[in-house]
Structure 1
Amino acid sequence: MTTLHLLPTIMLFHLLFLSIIFPFPSVASNNAQWQLLHKNIGIVAMHMQLLNNDRIIIFDRTDFGYSNLTLPNGKCRSDPSDKVLETDCTAHSVEYDVASNTFRALFVQTDVWCSSGGVIADGTLIQTGGYNDGERKVRSFAPCESPEDCEWQETDNALAVRRWYATNHYLPDERQIIIGGRRQFNYEFFPKRKITENNKPFVLPFLVQTNDKGAENNLYPFVVLNVDGNLFIFANNRAILFDYQNDAVVRTYPEIPGGDPRSYPSTGSAVLLPLKNLEAARVVAEVLVCGGARRGAYQLVPRGVFSQALDSCARIKITDPNATWVVETMPMGRVMNDMVLLPNGDVLIINGAKSGTAGWEKADNPALEPVIYKPNGSVGSRFVLQPASNIPRMYHSTAILVRDGRVIVGGSNPHEKYMFSNVSYPTELSLEAFSPQYLDSQFSPLRPIILEPSSHANLIYGEKFKMSIEVKGTLVPELLSVTMFAAPFNTHSFSMNQRLLVLSMGEVKVRGNSSCEFEVTAPGSAVLAPPSFYIIFAVHQHVPSEGVWIKMQ
């Protein structure tokens, strides 16, 4: 037998040898860690957005009274319409610097409570709506070279109607669509492009059909940009595919099994699973919906009954003409859970409670243990329990992935005001970092380092660009991939605009045992990746590198 014929056997032996020296992350090894970053950042982290300068914009609300963080330079907010304080010299927003683990107070004038948003092409956060005097505002926050000069900018009456508990999605044409909200069964765009858009929103009957009187289980609907350019919209227990350009429902999906509501205040979570084979004629898109409160749970709480949260996840191929839901069981029931896409394609399910529903004092039994969901695993073995935090993250909690692979976790305030004593779950002003097991030191030899492209490189749709990496140990080209992550706007258990793409790679040219270079193909259209900033990760044997910012244009 020739050496050529022996290559498959040699390669298999090589991989088995490496797996002994550098064991792949698995359910048997679980060295994930928690780190307390700050005990007190002064405000509740109710909303979060990572910007392309590695700073996270965090804010909560303005109408509960004083926060625990004073505005700098004698600034004060004067707001005669505020329901609690006309004059307030405390901050309700902060900018957190991931690299230095520092934060600074930001000035926001009107109420951003339970609002929505997303980042646009130039990296600016566009934030929409809120409560009271903030309900029709559009605010922007642009990253800049001197962070001290960055502040919120506000535009009056920029929205056609009030938007409170709405969902945004950034579109391929660089607009945001803003869907629903409290008593708003409609949608609109920002910025406006048609004269008719300036005066009234577009009616969306689906939001009327999915509205539960008394509970309103279609707030913060789950919205995902499908690979055909239409929007998958899930509210209550149903979903449609919506052609926003022609104001038409393209198709209606089957009701989720069990019939229980999943959107606010039942508040499960949803995520678009990683998009693969981007150069194929038909890219498959799958949505995963996990957790939530049982039907009627919201009405039972005033009677002192906290129903057990749903322990099911339902997965559907939204591109399949005969799409059906496939149901799986989580290790525990969970409501108000966040779902975070990790660079290696796994899904982190974190935060929330095991009983009750969303709202003030409406949940109990905190879910302290995160869960990793492995989309490519076999059914029945996809969930992996993670080490528990000792901080309950109940109503108004958040979680967001950052470039080094950690997940920043904050928030929790199930009370109308800040309450720190004599309650089961005090207002939480802390900020933590959850480090998945791939960041454990045992995997350091596997962890790639991206040498090229450089930070903030510009990429054109469909462009082939060179990528080079190195590892400290031995490189296995066959177990190398590249992912591209869209940083989302996270609030109320849903990460708006969250997206992970697995990019197509060319031949890997190995240099020595520990470095290589290869071509990578950028996504072919704005439908796959709307123009904006993304984080590119190299993933080797399921262990991701630190990411590099790039800009799709």
Structure 2
Amino acid sequence: MTPPALALCFFLSFLLWHDAAGGGKWDLLLSNAGISAMHMQLLHTDRVVMFDRTAFGNSNISLPKGKCVHDPDDPVSRLDCTAHSVEYDVRTNSVRPLTVLTNIWCSSGAVFPDGTLAQTGGNGQGDHVVRLYKPCTDNNSCDWQEITKGLSQKRCSIPNNPPRRGPTDYYSLPFLQQTFDHRETDNHLYPFVFLNVDGNLFIFANNRAILFDYTNSKIIRTYPTLPGGDPRNYPSTGSAVLLPLKGNAGAAEVLLCGGALKGACDRARNGDFVKALDTCGRIRINDPNPQWVMEIMPSARVMGDMLLLPNGNVLIINGAGTGTAAWELGRSPVLSPVLYYPDNQPGSRFEVQNPTSTPRMYHSSSVLLRDGRVLVGGSNPHEFYNFFNFPTDLTLQSFSPAYLDPQFGNLRPKILSPISGSNIGYGQQIPIRFIVAPGQLVQSTIMVTMIAPSFTTHSFSMNQRLLVLDRGDVMPVGGSVYQLMVRTPASSNLAPAGYYLLFVVHKDIPSEGIWIHIP
């Protein structure tokens, strides 16, 4: 190939990944996943469990023969022979149907230390149900198991103030009632909750936050009201992340972005779709006198997801530019993701990425995959499946951040050891062995991170957590192989037991992740 042809080839490849706005690449994975992926969780089997709600009517994927479900909450189809949950296999890019018996709409989830997905609550007859999904890889026999009265209190979109902790393990939290806005629709649902490094819970609802000692049912700190006072929780749905935790230090910082103006939900119900919020608030939650520091995003966004990437940056993706969450109340899809660089100076932290052509509005979700891509699905702003006017979306896409651009292949590390699935303990020194192309290694840029995958729904990636591990010097082993020692997190307050993705990052380019397990 002639030099001009090589230059043209490189230029065209560059255009696939970059435009004037930024970088990243979109790919359509499945044109029909069968359901609208309202809730997502990546498991340590590299499979993603997804579900929507059973009362949408018939989905576009059938249950196995003889597995029809009778759902009294579904006004469309009392006997439903279609699935409302699927398992997506990342390796084969395929889905298989799963069976849920009760309505799982507007619920939450987390993964137990053994890798079992626990999903709690829902709507109607599902509001007291706990559902367990223990992953398998041998014969695809695993499916949801339901505990009908697993919860003693309903969990859905009903504000509640449970009695003081007792035999039934309730916690008294008047804060949730105090942040309930009776003048319009809630604005405190799906609160943002993070485990602080001291073992207490940072809880943000509406426009306020507390630090809650859940073992003693006691508020131990009240934070300043977010400047501006506008609500950030459903239906004025913003999003939030706990920024990367570095080493075993006690610093913890929360970033919260987007949302809607006071009254925006009621205005949208009357056909007035006001511009969403374009502000972010950032707060160091363990400072002696913590204060919110405000920043401006490149564009307004409501219903956006915020995901921690392996290199410690934050991806803001999906959502709308006007209106709020809830059925039919969002407009002006925001098609371009934004990268946020936490360690940059204020004023240079945001970078707009290449846009998708697919709106991801209410009831969309996204999760980080082991190879560094972001899986994106869902979007159904209608009460039932509706394929007109911001249609119910059954597709799955991936967004590949620019660090996956082939031009960075010579910088990308490959982990040799430990092997995926290895167990680690707290406060241990463990060796990490990896490859970087000959002559490319810049030792000062090497970073080792571990990420707890999120349960994502309603614009909040629950339980996601990124730790930057303390490391020693990078030592050559031979050829292009290197080794370094890292110290694992000191306690379960920093890293609760369970499965994590571990990455080696070189010059901001992450390796493919491996699974590690804290039993």
**TM-score normalized by the length of structure 2:** 0.94
- 2:425 touches 2:518 (CA, 8 Å); kept in 1? yes
* 1:274-312 C-alpha deviation (Å, 9 max, x unpaired): 00031x4xx210000000011110010122111100000
* 1:239-263 C-alpha deviation (Å, 9 max, x unpaired): 0000001110000000001000001
Who is 1:228 aligned against?
A: 198
* 1:62-86 C-alpha deviation (Å, 9 max, x unpaired): 0121111111233211234544322
- Match among 492, 501, 506 for residue 540 of structure 1: 506
Judging changes above 3 Å, is the alpha-carbon distance between structure 1 residues 322 and 28 closer, same or farther for their aligned structure 2 residues? farther
Judging changes above 3 Å, is the alpha-carbon distance between structure 1 residues 374 and 486 closer, same or farther for their aligned structure 2 residues? same
- 1:57 touches 1:94 (CA, 8 Å); kept in 2? yes
- 1:475 touches 1:515 (CA, 8 Å); kept in 2? no
Once superposed, what is the RMSD of the aligned Cα atoms?
1.7
- 2:55 touches 2:73 (CA, 8 Å); kept in 1? no
User: Per the alignment, in what secondary structure is the counterpart of residue 203 of structure 1?
Assistant: coil
- Match among 472, 476, 491 for residue 506 of structure 1: 472
* 1:145-187 C-alpha deviation (Å, 9 max, x unpaired): 325111000001111111004xxxxxxxxxxxxxxxx122349
Distance 2:417 2:361 in 1: 41
Counterpart check, 1:210 vs 2:218: no
Per-residue deviation, 1:42: 1.0
Distance 1:296 1:29 in 2: 32
Who is 1:451 aligned against?
A: 416
* 1:365-410 C-alpha deviation (Å, 9 max, x unpaired): 0000000000001100100000000000000000100100000000
* 1:339-382 C-alpha deviation (Å, 9 max, x unpaired): 00000000000000000000111011000000000000110010
Who is 1:79 aligned against?
A: 71
Per-residue deviation, 1:29: 9.2
- 1:368 touches 1:391 (CA, 8 Å); kept in 2? yes
Distance 1:144 1:73 in 2: 21
User: Per the alignment, in what secondary structure is the counterpart of residue 202 of structure 1?
Assistant: coil
Identical aligned pairs, as a percentage?
55
Counterpart check, 1:132 vs 2:124: yes
Distance 2:223 2:160 in 1: 23
Distance 2:32 2:509 in 1: 32
* 1:435-465 C-alpha deviation (Å, 9 max, x unpaired): 0000000100000000011010000111111
Judging changes above 3 Å, is the alpha-carbon distance between structure 1 residues 340 and 417 closer, same or farther for their aligned structure 2 residues? same
Who is 2:392 aligned against?
A: 427
Query: Where do 1:399-438 residues align within 5 Å?
Result: 399-421=366-388, 423=389, 425-438=390-403
Who is 2:159 aligned against?
A: 183
Who is 2:517 aligned against?
A: 551
Who is 1:11 aligned against?
A: none
Who is 1:122 aligned against?
A: 114
Who is 1:14 aligned against?
A: none
- 1:353 touches 1:363 (CA, 8 Å); kept in 2? yes
Alignment gaps of 5+ in structure 1: 1-24, 166-181, 189-193
Distance 2:480 2:21 in 1: 25
Who is 1:270 aligned against?
A: 240
User: Per the alignment, in what secondary structure is the counterpart of residue 55 of structure 2?
Assistant: coil
Distance 2:40 2:80 in 1: 22
- Match among 28, 32, 35 for residue 24 of structure 2: 32
Larger mean Cα displacement after TM superposition, 26-35 or 537-546: 26-35
Matched letter for residue 175 of structure 2: F
- Match among 491, 503, 512 for residue 457 of structure 2: 491
Counterpart check, 1:460 vs 2:425: yes
User: Per the alignment, in what secondary structure is the counterpart of residue 43 of structure 1?
Assistant: coil
Counterpart check, 1:284 vs 2:251: yes
Q: Which runs of 4+ in 1 moved over 6 A?
A: 25-29
Who is 1:312 aligned against?
A: 279
Distance 2:175 2:18 in 1: 42
Alignment gaps of 5+ in structure 2: 1-16
